[in-house]
Amino acid sequence: MKKEDFDYLWTDKKRTIFGLPISFTRYFLTKEKLITRKGLLSLSEDECELYRVTDKRLKLPFMQRLFGCGTVYVHVKNDADSPVKEIKSIKTPRKFMKILEENVNIQRDKYSIRGRDMVGSDCNCDNDGI
């Protein structure tokens, strides 16, 4: 993915030891989508449209907090392969959540959708603490 292909609002890499971005996982946020790209030689990308986001959660484990990082869990409606997107160990997670929330609302307004419109019987509920 080239910078010219998308207009990125936010981008970051998964942080590893000491908060350094030594990882082959990269996150991109555009006006319409949240994209996760993994891999070095063989790439795998997972996209979700922002209007489908139903909830988000921030987790700040002690070791990540020491280096200014955190993990954001994004719950996505009608995404069969991964209903919970895990944006692991990113810098400034609260800033990311604010940008995400603003753009989720913009996309929902664009499609005239509210969170209550996405409540249905296909709940991917699991009790594993996520």
Q: What is the pLDDT of residue 55?
A: 94
Q: What is the pLDDT of residue 99?
A: 97
Task: List pLDDT tens digits, range 84-93.
Answer: 999 999 999 9
Task: List pLDDT tens digits, range 32-86.
Answer: 999 999 999 999 999 999 999 999 999 999 999 999 999 999 999 988 888 999 9
| Tokens read off for 78 | 């009608």
Does residue 14 form part of some domain?
yes
Q: 6 falls in which pLDDT band (50, 70, 90)?
A: confident
Q: Tell me the H-state helices in 49-92.
A: 62-66
CATH at residue 48:
2.30.29.30
Does residue 56 form part of some domain?
yes
Does residue 54 form part of some domain?
yes
Domain span at residue 34 reads 10-109
pTM of the full structure? 0.83
Q: Is the Cβ–Cβ distance between 88 and 14 less than 8 Å?
A: yes
Mean per-residue pLDDT of the chain? 88
Does residue 52 form part of some domain?
yes
Number of domains in the chain: 1
**What are the angstrom distances between the C-alpha of 53 and each of 25, 71, 117, 130?**
21, 16, 12, 15
Does residue 63 form part of some domain?
yes
Does residue 117 form part of some domain?
no
- Does the pLDDT at position 126 exceed 60? no
Q: 125 falls in which pLDDT band (50, 70, 90)?
A: low
